[in-house]
A and B are shown apart, each in its own frame.
Chain A
Amino acid sequence: MPAPASASAAQSPVQVFDRRLLRHRRDRAAAGLADYDFLLTEVGERLADRLDDIRRRFPMALDLGCHHGALARCLNGRGGVERLIQTDLSPRMAAAAPSPALAADEEALPFAAGTFDAAFSLLSLHWVNDLPGTLLQLRHALKPDGLLLVAMLGGDTLHELRTALAEAEMDLEGGLSPRVSPFADVRDAGMLLQRAGFALPVVDRETLTVSYADAFRLMRDLRGMAAANAVAERRRGMTRRATLLAAATGYADRFADADGRIPATFEVLYLTAWAPHPEQPRPLRPGSAASRLADALGTEELSAGEKARPG
C-alpha cells in the first residue's frame, strides 16, 4: 500500500530528523525512562508554573509528545485542567503514560478542529521536521482563544558536547558529521508562531546547566532520555571508540570545573501563544491613549531626553 506511506513524507519536504529512528529510541527508552526523567520533571514543573501565572482554566487539554506522562504528573490538575489527552510518537511511551493516551505523530495530528482549551508540549517538538506544519495543526485543534504552551530545546543545547565531538572528529577522522541534533532559536520560534496564525506570541529562554562526572555519563543519560542524535544525515554506525575517548578528554580539558566535573547546557525555549479570537486584546494605535501614564502613576511627566531626578 504505497499511497499512505508516501503521503507522510510528502507532508514535510525537509527530513532533518529520522522519525522512525526516534520512535524506535522512544519505544526502547519507555520502560526505563523513570530513571532518566530529571530534565522532563524539572522543565515540566517550570511549564506548570507558567500555567499557574495565567488566570484561566483549561478543562480540556492536550499534551503532545507526552513521554511517560511527565507533564501529567507535574500538572496534576493545575491550570484547571480536568482532562489531559496525551500523545506520543511511541506506542510504548503512550502505554506508559496515565490514561487517556494514544500514539500519534506530531507531524500528523488526529484531532478534530476546535477540540482543546489548551495544548502543551514538553521537550518533544524539537524533534519535529515540519514545525510550521505541526503548529498550524495545533492551532486548528485549539478552540478560539485556546492556549499553546510549549517547552522545547533551543540552539545552545549541548554546545559543549558539540564542540568536543567536532574537535575530536576533525583531529582523528578528518571530517565532520552532524552528531548533535540541530535546534531552533528564539527568533525562529517567534516567527513560526506568527506564521502559523497564533495571536500574542511570546518566546523566552532559560538555560539549565547539569553537572556530570564525565562525558560518558552525559551520553548515557541522553540515551536514557531517548534524546540521542536522530539527524537523518548522521554518520551511520557507531562513533569510533577513539573519537569518543578523545571527545570525552577534550570535553573535560575545556569545560571541567575545579572538581573535575563537566557542565552540560540545556537551553529551553518556552513558547506561549493563543489561537486567534476577535475579543483578544490587541495593541492600540500609537497616540490613541485617552489618559496619561503619569496620572496613573501619580507622578510628574518629564519630556524625553531630560534626566529623571534622583528620588
Chain B
Amino acid sequence: MSRTVDPKLLEILVCPLTKSALRYDPDRQELVSERARLAYPIRDGIPIMLVDEARPLDEGEVEGEVGAPPDLAGGRNPGVDTGGRP
C-alpha cells in the first residue's frame, strides 16, 4: 500500500448501485454498502467503485440494524434481490 485513501474522498462517495451511504473498513481496505450487500475494494488508495469488482458480503457481515432498509429484515439469503436499487 504505497498510497492511502484520501479521507475527504470518502465523504462524498456513495454506493453506485443504491446511492446509499458507505461504511469504511480500514482493516480490509473496503467501502461497504450494506444495502447492496457489496464491499468495494480500495487498492493502493484508489477506491474501485465498480460493481463487478465488488465482493459480495457474507450473511454475517450485513449489519441489519441502523440504516438498513426494512425489506432486508426478512431476507436472510444474501443472494436475493437487494431491493432499493434504482
Contact = CB atoms under 8 A, between A and B. Distances in A.
A108 interface: yes
Contacts of A32: none
A250 interface: no
B79 interface: yes
A8 B15 CA distance: 13
B64 interface: no
Range for the number of chain B residues in contact with chain A: 35 or more
B50 to A, nearest CB: 6
Contact of A102 (B9, B37, B79): B9
Given A7-B17, A112-B12, A103 B51 contact: no
Interface secondary structure of A, over-half rule: mixed
Interface string A1-42: 111110110010000000010000000000000000000000
* Residue with the highest number of chain A CB atoms closer than 10 Å, among B3, B16, B85: B16
A1 B49 contact: no
A105 B50 contact: yes
Given A95-B46, A103-B46, A104-B50, A110 B13 contact: yes
Interface of A: 1-5, 7-8, 11, 20, 83, 85, 87, 89, 91, 94-95, 99-105, 108-113, 115
Interface of B: 3, 6, 8-9, 12-17, 19, 36-38, 40, 43-54, 56, 78-82, 85-86
Q: For the complex of A and B, list the 8 residue pairs with the smallest distance between their C-beta atoms, beginning with the closest.
A: A1-B56, A108-B16, A110-B49, A110-B16, A102-B47, A104-B49, A103-B48, A115-B12
